[in-house]
Amino acid sequence: MAETAIKLKGKAERSFLDDIKDLLPEGNLSLCLTCGLCSSGCPASGLEGMDPRKFLRMLVLGMDEEVLKSDWPWMCTMCQRCVYVCPMKIDIPQMVFNIRAARPRDERPKGIRNSCDVAVQSESKSAMGTPTEDFIFVVNDVLEEYREAQPEFADMQAPIDKEGAEFFLNQNSREPMTEPDEMVPLWKILHLAGADWTYSSTAWAAENYCLFLADAENWEHLVRAKAERADKLRCKTYLNTE
């Protein structure tokens, strides 16, 4: 049986590839060697029948509509391993981000969208909307428990709103609410290292779902809120646990 040839539509007046060339003038998209290194270690390879190399070739061929309809760009972690191994240094995660941004916001994945919106609206900047008083209670409660259970850490600290600390520590917001014991190993490391650190009572959440939603405005809003809080506490280094 003869195979049906893939028919490509005529090139649009301006394609997504043209926009990417403006954003990434050094990307060398047209010089892709199709070597497959980008796909070899990608955690999203094979999902939805796509991988980074196929994604790139579809863009080069002007298959914008097919790429925009695909759910694969939402499975990319944007870890940048593909950029690291690419001999042409093509920034595929940047392309993924812009493909996501090209989809109407209300058609983007609901879970990520809701997590972004909750974080923007909450004082903690947490995707779970954790109230300030709950966070403070959990940190102090878990600290007291471990001090009593493990005498070698009887003087361990988990400060909140300590001014002038060296490190401003953020925290994945699921841990205080669902797995509070998972906070302790890092506390122990910081304690044994003699690090001077603090949490903040507000804007302490480490995650930023607005980045994965490709909502640049709210992504920036969350980053600025956390940076401003670190500045207000006069911390020297922002320690991102994510």
pLDDT given for residue 136 in this prediction: 97
pLDDT given for residue 91 in this prediction: 87
Residue 32 has pLDDT above 90, yes or no: no
For residue 136, what are the contacts with CB-CB under 8 A and spacing of at least 6? 160, 201
- The average confidence (pLDDT) of the chain is 90
Over range 54-68, report the average pLDDT. 89
Global pTM reads 0.82
Cα 225 to Cα 223: distance, rounded to the nearest angstrom: 5
pLDDT given for residue 147 in this prediction: 97
Over range 198-216, report the average pLDDT. 96
pLDDT classification of 24: cutoffs 50, 70, 90: low
Note the pLDDT tens digit of each residue in 98-147: 899 999 999 999 999 999 999 999 999 999 999 999 999 999 999 999 99
pLDDT given for residue 89 in this prediction: 84
Q: Is 222 exposed, middle or buried (0-12, 13-18, 19+ CB in 10 A)?
A: buried
pLDDT classification of 1: cutoffs 50, 70, 90: very low
CATH number of 16-103: 1.10.1060.10
The structural domains of the chain, with segments of one domain joined by +, span 16-103, 110-239
Tally of CA atoms within 13 A in the half-sphere of 118 that contains its CB? 16
